[in-house]
Amino acid sequence: MLTNAVVAPPSLCSGHNSQLSNQLLFPYKLNYGLEGARRKQKVSPLKAGFWDSIRSGFLKNNATQVIEPPSTLPEEEEPLPQEIVLVERTQPDGTLEQVIFSSGGDVDVYDLQALCDKVGWPRRPLSKVAAALKNSYMVATLHSIRKSPEREGNDQKELIGMARATSDHAFNATIWDVLVDPGYQGQGLGKALVEQLIRALLQRDIGNITLFADSQVVDFYRNLGFEPDPEGIKGMFWYPRY
Amino acid sequence: MLLHGSISTPPSSIRLLKSQTYNTKLKLRVAAASASQIPAAVAENKLKFSISNEELESRGFLLKQSMEGLNLDQLNSVFVAVGFPRRDTEKIRVALENTDTLLWIEYSKTQKPVAFARATGDGVFNAIIWDVVVDPSFQGIGLGKAIMERLLEELLLKGITNIALYSEPRVLGFYRPLGFAADPDGIRGMVYSRKQNQKRK
């Protein structure tokens, strides 16, 4: 579904996989309730709308539940929980799987490399990757946690998505390297990942959120609230590889 | 041996010295640029700065590479003079403190900033250039170009080759000769719009 928001080339895993662009089409439309909810919002347009969007996306699958955040957030911003359970589903064999969003930025570079391999991005020196992550303002991840009744206490945790943003901590943020494990694409997770990242950035009062989108994903980001070339402003690159 | 490839012979021994220290930096730059399609002439630094540091200094323009000595209220005035909305000075301070690379030019007669540019990023792969401004009274004499050339060089020296920016339509022609291309391979710059989301049906 979702490839990289990035540039020529994507930074952490250079190059991009054009095969992913074909998986942009969601099985369900995911942007309802968003507009109505947003009109009521003053501060954070994503609050109510986001959960509506996830819920409607999963109504068809009875085995899947959507978990709300523990408290009802007031209109004024409370600090967002760093971890949010996006999806919870029980497999026929009793295994419970959760997909968890986190903005805590705890990424194992080897796990990330494995994920980049899965989406077909070329490898980058791990020390540089580690430095890039460390220098990023926010690193958001999606993890799949599998809890089996037999393996009590031994959960299986897997990195299945990531997105990061660089920022000056005051005015601007730029989103890079959005990726989702191909095995988990097509479920609205990339959308959730980016929406949560935006939400966290807005909560920190970063007013200008930007990104560079490959042509195949421009519509994806449009649906998330991004506008290409606002007021004719163009993204430019210095001697791009393409 | 001079790797510079410059055409003119530096007139003084001091300049010769400066060129030689430049050569080691050159090697880094070539290494950094080797993976991409930066034109060979640029990569080998056969193109010098359009205005040299000495020339700038002789005309009263001092190049600065840190926030030290930069009056943020005066900087804010330059931003406003070129049409940016007036932003909170303390927020500007936070932004600059969290900016890896910045350059500004001080006009020695007034001791005020007359040109500025900065770049944020992850310090390894990507950089985005923001807030490129020249005081309207000092536009048209090459200060903007001087700042951009030096900012680019600093980023390249750090090994960052993925350098991007957002350009208003009326200054695309300023960035193009510096080596920038718009929408390469169909990549579009996009900005999140809250207003748009609240209105959307």
Which residues partner with A88 through β-bridges? A65, A98
* pTM of the shown model: 0.75
State whether B128 and A172 contact (CB < 8 Å): yes
Encoded tokens for A165: 């943003």
Question: Quick check: helix, strand or coil at residue A128?
Answer: helix
Render pLDDT for A83-97 as a digit per residue (tens, 0 to 9). Answer: 999 999 998 988 999
Q: Which residue of A has its CA nearest to B168?
A: A233
CA nearest neighbour of B44 among B64, B62, B67, B28? B28
Average pLDDT, chain B: 84
More confident residue, A46 or A193: A193
pLDDT at B99 over 60: yes
B192: which chain A residues are within 8 Å (Cβ-Cβ)?
198, 208-210, 224-227
Q: What is the pLDDT of residue A105?
A: 83
Which residues, numbered 46 to 85 in chain B, qualify as contacts with chain A under a Cβ-Cβ cut-off of 8 Å?
Answer: none
| pLDDT-above-90 percentage for chain A | 59
Among A13, A175, A234, which would you mutate to test the B interface (most chain B Cβ atoms within 10 Å of its Cβ)? A234
CA nearest neighbour of A214 among A240, A189, A196, A188? A240
Our count of domains for chain A comes to: 1
Residue B198 C-alpha, separation from nearest chain A C-alpha, in angstroms: 5
Least confident of A61-70, A146-155, B109-118, B159-168: A61-70
Q: Does B86 touch chain A (CB under 8 A)?
A: no
| Bond prior to A9 in cis (omega within 30° of 0) | yes
Render pLDDT for A33-87 as a digit per residue (tens, 0 to 9). Answer: 333 333 333 333 344 444 444 444 443 444 444 454 444 444 445 556 689 999 9
State whether A227 and B191 contact (CB < 8 Å): yes
State whether B168 and A233 contact (CB < 8 Å): yes
Residue A174 contacts residue A165 (beta carbons within 8 Å): yes
- CATH classification (class only), B2-200: alpha beta
pLDDT at A3 over 50: no
> How many Cα atoms sit within 13 Å of A13 on the Cβ side?
27
Give Cα separations from B109 to B8, B26, B61 (angstroms): 31, 33, 9
Q: For residue B172, which amino acid is it?
A: L
**Separation CA A25–CA A27 (nearest Å):** 7
pLDDT at B30 over 60: no
Q: What is the ipTM of this complex?
A: 0.79
Least confident of A191-195, B184-188, B193-197: B193-197
Which residues partner with A139 through β-bridges? A104, A164
Which residues, numbered 164 to 183 in chain A, qualify as contacts with chain B under a Cβ-Cβ cut-off of 8 Å?
Answer: 164, 166-172, 174, 176
Give the closest of A202, A212, A232 to B169, CB-based: A232
Give the closest of B95, B123, B185 to A170, CB-based: B95
Q: Does B41 touch chain A (CB under 8 A)?
A: no
Q: Is residue A126 part of a domain?
A: yes
Which residues partner with B181 through β-bridges? A237
Which residues, numbered 180 to 239 in chain A, qualify as contacts with chain B under a Cβ-Cβ cut-off of 8 Å?
Answer: 198, 202, 208-215, 218, 221-222, 224-239
pLDDT at A26 over 50: no
Q: What is the pLDDT of residue A43?
A: 34
Residue A173 contacts residue A137 (beta carbons within 8 Å): yes
Least confident of A8-17, B58-67, B84-93: A8-17
CATH at A122: 3.40.630.30
State whether A168 and B190 contact (CB < 8 Å): no
Average pLDDT, chain A: 77
Domain assignments of chain B as residue spans, ordered by start: 2-200
